[in-house]
């Protein structure tokens, strides 16, 4: 998150109104409801993990054991079980 000078962003009247409540402090202004991105959407990490998990499920359906998948993907036995038995895509 970057800092932006309020005098550059806000109109003078709004800046004066804000200064009645806070001066010289950092204030976080959240995004509007519904505009927030879920974890990993911007970086593509969410989609990458979904593809990995789908590949694991496919390998499991074709006969790969949980132990083999754990070694291949460097994940714990329990984590592999959660992925291959989950109903989420």
Predicted local distance difference test score (pLDDT) of residue 60: 96
Predicted local distance difference test score (pLDDT) of residue 1: 66
Predicted local distance difference test score (pLDDT) of residue 65: 96
Residues 6+ apart with CB under 8 A from 3: 26
Predicted local distance difference test score (pLDDT) of residue 89: 66
Predicted local distance difference test score (pLDDT) of residue 88: 74
39 to each of 23, 43, 44, 48, 67, how far by Cα in Å?
Answer: 33, 9, 9, 12, 29
For 74, the token pair is 């460097």
Q: What is the mean pLDDT of each run of 10 residues along the chain (89 residues)?
A: 85 93 88 77 88 96 96 96 87
Predicted local distance difference test score (pLDDT) of residue 2: 78
């Amino acid at each position: 998150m970057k800092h932006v000078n309020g005098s550059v962003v806000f109109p003078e009247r709004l800046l004066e109104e804000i200064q009645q409540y806070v001066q010289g402090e950092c204030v976080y202004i959240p995004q509007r409801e519904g505009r927030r991105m879920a974890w990993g959407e911007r970086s593509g990490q969410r989609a990458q993990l979904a593809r990995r998990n789908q590949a694991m499920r496919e390998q499991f359906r074709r006969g790969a054991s949980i132990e083999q998948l754990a070694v291949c993907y460097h994940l714990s036995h329990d984590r592999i079980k959660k992925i291959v038995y989950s109903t989420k895509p």
